[in-house]
Amino acid sequence: MEWINELEGKLWRTKGSRFNANKRIAKENQYSRYSMAFLSSYIIIINIYSVYLKCFVADGINNNISNSIPFFSISLGILILVINLTETAKGLNLKAEKMLSSAKEISGLYDRLKLQSSGTPIK
């Protein structure tokens, strides 16, 4: 009977770690999406600012600033593309789903073992 208690403990810990991993991976995926949205909106704001400088600000203002804005905009666009590709390649959504389904399977095994060890017949 000692090995059953040990197995119950292992199943309990594994089940809990899988549920926690699911939460952690889902949160990481959410933060990744938020950062992509933030950087994308930042590029839009930079481009609007560039148009503002060219249209509404007098020509006496330093032209180096308005000429360097497209460079920063393109650089940020490339950065977003690279980050998005690496985050997508991680497959965080799929990992989270696998952890959750694994935790549910382990939970079912744990419950069956608990019932059997208590002497209740399993259907």
Q: Residue 17: inside a domain, yes or no?
A: yes
At 66 the pLDDT is 65
CA–CA separation, 106 and 47 (whole Å):
51
pTM above 0.85, yes or no: no
19 close to 103: Cβ distance less than 8 angstroms = yes
Domains in the chain, number: 1
User: Average pLDDT in the 34-47 region?
Assistant: 87
Q: Residue 72: inside a domain, yes or no?
A: yes
Q: Residue 88: inside a domain, yes or no?
A: yes
Tokens read off for 39:
């950087």
Q: Residue 46: inside a domain, yes or no?
A: yes
Tokens read off for 21:
């991993």
Looking at residue 18, its amino acid is R
Q: Residue 123: inside a domain, yes or no?
A: no
Q: Residue 122: inside a domain, yes or no?
A: no
At 123 the pLDDT is 61
Print the domain residue range for 67.
Answer: 2-117
CA–CA separation, 87 and 80 (whole Å):
10
Answer yes or no: is pLDDT of 2 > 80.
yes
49-107: pLDDT as tens digits: 777 777 766 555 556 666 677 788 888 889 889 988 888 888 888 999 999 999 999 99
